[in-house]
């Protein structure tokens, strides 16, 4: 489990069990859920449609054997059912907000009953943008429920009535791989539900999504030019696990993720001008677009690297970086190159 998330979750579990620290636990839980949800946002914002139904670990044991779309559906179907049918006793977001129609899901269940090819086919049928909106509404609605809970609610248990209600929703498949969920949830009190579907369950599936995403990125980058449009080396980039290169549809570079259209301004500009990269551009030195914007800490380093490529070519550039990275890690390298672009160019040439 991700160490940072695991530590935060452990602290929340400790705080939530005492009345004096209950309020603090809920606050921290909502913060952790936001941090985890940001991972989903980043994936949905930057990854192409086809990524959501791909199964790079098909047949493996574990959550990473599913798809990105299935993972999102599954996390939020479970949360929607538990939060609304059990804790709040009102209508699920899926039905109340009409997401059944807009997501185009062929099922309303949690998806536990699906396996292998069924998961891939199910994932292909989903409208990812509406699935994301659904996930967002479930998260927000659960957060509101969490904020209203009192410590005295934690020991509330669920009897036969809830069990019957869950069965009648048709939201849990009668297949044995799913049906156990009803007695599992009904065997817990409110605190037990918070500890699993609202926190740990998220961590486990979002970690699996990260593994899927990383593998898709590595596959996307195979055989692709490792020089980014702005002049960075994808081979040496600290985002190598996250980003499938700005030359593929799996671009998750920082400027792509913060741009409203999900595209890096330098990549778009080069494509519009028909350039292989900013190193071929006449106005490189004075450019202030994307990575080169004066407010970006890495602007000078990116420019120094593009200038080096213009002067010495890509092969020499990658070799210069190999040598630099024998001594320094990514962030130190960028720091050294980033004081001034002319000085950065000299450092690359002299090392």
- 307 near ligand SF4, judged by CB under 6 A: no
Phi, psi (deg, nearest 5) at residue 318: -65, -35
- 270 near ligand SF4, judged by CB under 6 A: yes
- Smallest separation, CB 226 to ligand SF4 (Å): 7
Q: Which long-range contacts (CB under 8 A, 24 or more apart) does 141-150 make?
A: 141/83, 141/84, 141/93, 142/33, 142/79, 142/83, 142/198, 143/30, 143/33, 145/83, 145/87, 145/88, 146/26, 146/29, 146/30, 146/194, 146/198, 147/26, 147/30, 149/26, 149/87, 149/190, 150/22
- 301 near ligand SF4, judged by CB under 6 A: no
Is the four-CA dihedral 132, 136, 139, 141 of positive or negative sign? negative
Q: Which is nearer to ligand SF4, 41 or 162 (by Cβ)?
A: 41
- 273 near ligand SF4, judged by CB under 6 A: yes
Q: Among 197, 240, 338, 344, which residue sits at the site for ligand SF4 (rule: CB under 6 A)? A: 240
- 304 near ligand SF4, judged by CB under 6 A: no
- Smallest separation, CB 35 to ligand SF4 (Å): 21
Q: Among 32, 36, 206, 281, which residue sits at the site for ligand SF4 (rule: CB under 6 A)? A: 281
Three-state SS at 271? helix
Residues 75-114: x/- map of binding to ligand SF4 (CB under 6 A)?
Answer: ----------------------------------------
Three-state SS at 295? coil
SS3 track for 224-266:
CCCECCCCCEHHHCCCCCCCCCCCCCCCCCHHHHHCCCCCCHH
For ligand SF4, which stretch binds (CB under 6 A), given 10-18, 102-110, 134-142, 283-291? 283-291
- 287 near ligand SF4, judged by CB under 6 A: yes
Q: Which is nearer to ligand SF4, 155 or 311 (by Cβ)?
A: 311
Longest dimension (CA), the chain: 76
For ligand SF4, which stretch binds (CB under 6 A), given 94-102, 129-137, 245-253, 307-315? 245-253
Q: Could you list the residues that contact ligand SF4 (CB under 6 A)?
A: 228, 232, 234, 237, 239-240, 243, 245-246, 253, 266, 269-270, 273, 275, 278, 281, 283-284, 287, 289-290
């Amino acid at each position: 489990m991700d160490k940072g998330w695991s530590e935060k979750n452990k602290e929340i579990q400790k705080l939530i069990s005492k009345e004096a620290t209950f309020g603090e636990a809920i606050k921290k839980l909502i913060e952790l859920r936001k941090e985890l949800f940001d991972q989903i946002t980043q994936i949905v914002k930057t990854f192409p449609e086809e990524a959501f139904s791909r199964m790079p670990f098909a047949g493996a044991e574990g959550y990473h054997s599913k798809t990105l779309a299935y993972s999102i559906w599954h996390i939020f179907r479970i949360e929607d059912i538990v939060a609304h049918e059990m804790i709040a006793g009102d209508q699920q977001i899926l039905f109340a907000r009409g997401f059944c129609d807009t997501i185009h899901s062929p099922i309303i269940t949690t998806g536990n009953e699906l396996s292998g090819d069924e998961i891939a086919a199910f994932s292909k049928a989903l409208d990812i943008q509406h699935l994301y909106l659904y996930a967002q509404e479930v998260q927000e609605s659960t957060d509101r429920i969490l904020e209203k809970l009192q410590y005295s609610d934690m020991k509330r248990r669920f009897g036969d009535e809830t069990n019957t209600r869950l069965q009648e929703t048709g939201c849990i498949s009668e297949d044995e791989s799913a049906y156990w969920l009803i007695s599992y949830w009904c065997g817990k009190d409110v605190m037990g539900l918070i500890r699993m579907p609202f926190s740990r369950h998220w961590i486990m599936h979002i970690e699996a999504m990260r593994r899927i995403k990383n593998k898709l990125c590595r596959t996307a980058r195979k055989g692709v030019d490792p020089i980014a449009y702005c002049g960075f080396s994808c081979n040496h980039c600290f985002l190598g696990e996250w980003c499938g290169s700005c030359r593929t549809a799996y671009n998750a570079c920082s400027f792509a993720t913060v741009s409203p259209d999900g595209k890096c301004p330098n990549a778009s500009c080069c494509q519009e001008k028909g350039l292989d990269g900013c190193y071929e551009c006449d106005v490189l030195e004075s450019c202030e677009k994307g990575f080169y914007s004066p407010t970006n800490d890495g602007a000078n380093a990116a420019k120094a690297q593009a200038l080096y490529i213009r002067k010495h070519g890509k092969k020499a550039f990658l070799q210069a970086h190999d040598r630099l990275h024998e001594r320094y890690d990514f962030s130190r390298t960028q720091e050294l190159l980033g004081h001034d672009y002319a000085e950065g160019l000299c450092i690359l040439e002299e090392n």
